[in-house]
């Protein structure tokens, strides 16, 4: 029988579907039947063969991303399990991981014997000394933190069972993992805006700092965030979108995705900065002194603010459950995209029997073993190394550059069909200059006295 054409879906070539088996027996191996290209040559010409390497590059990026991103889930699980106590452990000092300089609450009115430079917050010590067991550097990896290793294993097991049956099981899981965090976000938002000092935090959030716009790093960080939030150049959306019908309205999906993603991020800012404003007022400091970014926000600043709230245990549980579901949602979508790429490359081998499930299990297990390096004493240094280099904005911009070139020069800009309203705008632009010739002639004729002959 005729062989299959296998192109990694993560090449993001703008097609709605990729790599369908062409023979009847190979079609029956697919867990979910997807529509086929009319002719294989159409697909080959549309992506110009050589640019398949872009798909391979995306697969490597997403593979590295899957290895280190899930470590955040392991940290969140650790905090969640530690939240089931009457008193949150990161909100107090005097425990075996604390130093003599530990303080539970910092304020400018502290009357301590040690200088302010020696003060160490209980939340920071809990994060660095209890959770991470942080070593002195990358050259001092230390031993595996078995509690984090178990949390990492739990994260991978959950991820496996979310995707092991393909996009059908993934779709069912998304109904919960995508909607429940929205409910938690609304609850945390309502709680945040009702706290003292919330208005200060919201004002800080909405007030732009024009001077920072001149800093290139700000634009790099913003671009990286956009790439990650929309999964650009990672292949996940293309892989999942390949299950759509050819007639699916991709433009509508893009608009909805953009509005929901940006709107959620904007609303999340109110939930976060209202709590940070409350935290700043309680400590009597400026909000810029309590604002954190990256892991520091999720595992230092926000947990500290939670300890200041009534019924802090409940809010801690809700916050970390929301964090886990948000992270899990991103994790299994990216993992599914990576798996789909391989399955489409080797359909005859991976679509037979339980081969797909076995391949997913092997992928998760290997990723777990590599990820163990990030739950050691020096794991944070390994994590930051992956975060800064393996799947950073530089890598994604590199892939995006060649993808854009492939689409513009190979696939062709003339393939795009403008909607009627778009064409109407084009004619308005054209007429905006053309109308002056007859328009001014008519105007001159009307205002000039005398007959036409005169």
Q: Where are the domains of the chain?
A: 9-415, 419-454
Q: What pLDDT, in 10s, does the model give residues 296-341?
A: 778 888 888 888 888 889 999 999 999 999 888 889 888 988 888 8
Q: What pLDDT, in 10s, does the model give residues 213-235?
A: 888 878 877 877 788 788 888 87
Q: Is 27 exposed, middle or buried (0-12, 13-18, 19+ CB in 10 A)?
A: middle
**Beta carbons within 10 angstroms of residue 202's beta carbon:** 18
List, as residue ranges, the binding site for Na(+).
229, 261, 326, 329-330
Give the C-alpha separation, 59 to 72, whole Å. Answer: 21
Task: Match 């003339």 to its residue by tokens.
Answer: 414
The whole-number pLDDT of residue 210 equals 84
Q: Which two tokens stand for residue 375?
A: 């739950």
Query: Using an 8 Å Cβ cutoff, are 229 and 330 in contact?
Result: no
Q: Which two tokens stand for residue 384?
A: 């930051």
Residue 294, φ and ψ in degrees, nearest 5: 65, -145
The alpha carbon torsion through 244, 245, 246, 250 (nearest 10 deg) reads -50
Dihedral sign (CA 249, 252, 254, 256): negative
Give the C-alpha separation, 241 to 336, whole Å. Answer: 12
pTM above 0.85, yes or no: no
Q: Which among 95, 139, 97, 278 is positioned nearest to 201, based on CA atoms? A: 278
Residues of the chain whose pLDDT is less than 50? Answer: 1-31, 36-41, 44-45, 111-113
Which residues, including other chains, have CB under 8 Å from residue 190's CB and lie 6 or more apart? none
Q: Is 268 exposed, middle or buried (0-12, 13-18, 19+ CB in 10 A)?
A: middle
List, as residue ranges, the binding site.
229, 261, 326, 329-330
The whole-number pLDDT of residue 23 equals 40
Give the SS3 label for residue 103.
strand
Give the SS3 label for residue 256.
helix
Cα-atom radius of gyration of the chain, to the nearest Å? 27
């Amino acid at each position: 029988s005729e062989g299959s054409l296998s192109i990694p879906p993560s090449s993001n070539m703008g097609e709605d579907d990729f790599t369908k088996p062409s023979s009847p027996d190979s079609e029956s191996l697919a867990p979910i039947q997807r529509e086929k290209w009319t002719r294989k040559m159409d697909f080959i010409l549309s992506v110009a063969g050589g640019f398949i390497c872009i798909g391979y590059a995306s697969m490597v990026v997403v593979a590295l991303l899957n290895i280190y991103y899930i470590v955040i889930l392991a940290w969140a699980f650790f905090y969640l399990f530690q939240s089931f106590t009457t008193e949150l452990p990161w909100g107090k000092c005097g425990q075996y991981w604390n130093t003599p300089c530990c303080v539970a609450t910092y304020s400018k009115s502290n009357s301590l014997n040690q200088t302010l430079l020696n003060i160490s917050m209980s939340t920071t010590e809990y994060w660095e000394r209890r959770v991470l067991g942080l070593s002195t550097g990358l050259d001092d990896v230390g031993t595996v933190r078995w509690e984090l290793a178990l949390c990492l294993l739990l994260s991978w097991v959950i991820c496996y069972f979310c995707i092991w049956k393909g996009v059908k099981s993934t779709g069912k899981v998304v109904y919960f993992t995508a909607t429940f965090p929205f409910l938690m976000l609304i609850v945390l938002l309502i709680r945040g805006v009702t706290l003292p000092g919330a208005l200060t935090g919201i004002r800080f959030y909405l007030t732009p700092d024009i001077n920072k716009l001149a800093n290139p790093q700000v634009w790099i960080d913003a671009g990286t965030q956009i790439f990650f939030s929309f999964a650009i150049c990672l292949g996940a959306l293309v892989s999942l979108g390949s299950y759509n019908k050819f007639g699916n309205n991709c433009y509508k999906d893009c608009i909805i995705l953009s509005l929901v993603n940006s709107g959620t991020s904007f609303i999340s800012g109110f939930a976060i900065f209202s709590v940070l404003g409350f935290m700043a007022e309680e400590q009597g400091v400026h909000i810029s002194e309590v604002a954190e970014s990256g892991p520091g926000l999720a595992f230092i600043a926000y947990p500290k603010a939670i300890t200041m709230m009534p019924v802090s245990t409940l809010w801690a549980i809700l916050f970390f459950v929301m964090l886990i579901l948000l992270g899990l949602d991103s994790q299994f979508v990216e993992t599914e995209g990576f798996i789909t790429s391989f399955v489409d490359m080797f359909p005859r081998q991976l679509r037979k029997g339980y081969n797909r499930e076995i391949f997913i299990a092997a992928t998760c297990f290997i990723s777990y073993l590599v990820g163990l390096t990030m739950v050691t004493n020096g794991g944070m240094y390994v994590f930051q190394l992956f975060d800064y280099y393996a799947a950073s904005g530089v890598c994604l911009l590199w892939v995006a550059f060649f993808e854009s070139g492939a689409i513009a020069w190979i696939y062709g800009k003339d393939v795009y069909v403008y909607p009627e309203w778009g064409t109407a705008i084009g004619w308005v632009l054209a007429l905006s200059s053309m109308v002056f010739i007859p328009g001014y002639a008519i105007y001159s004729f009307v205002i000039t006295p005398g007959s036409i002959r005169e």
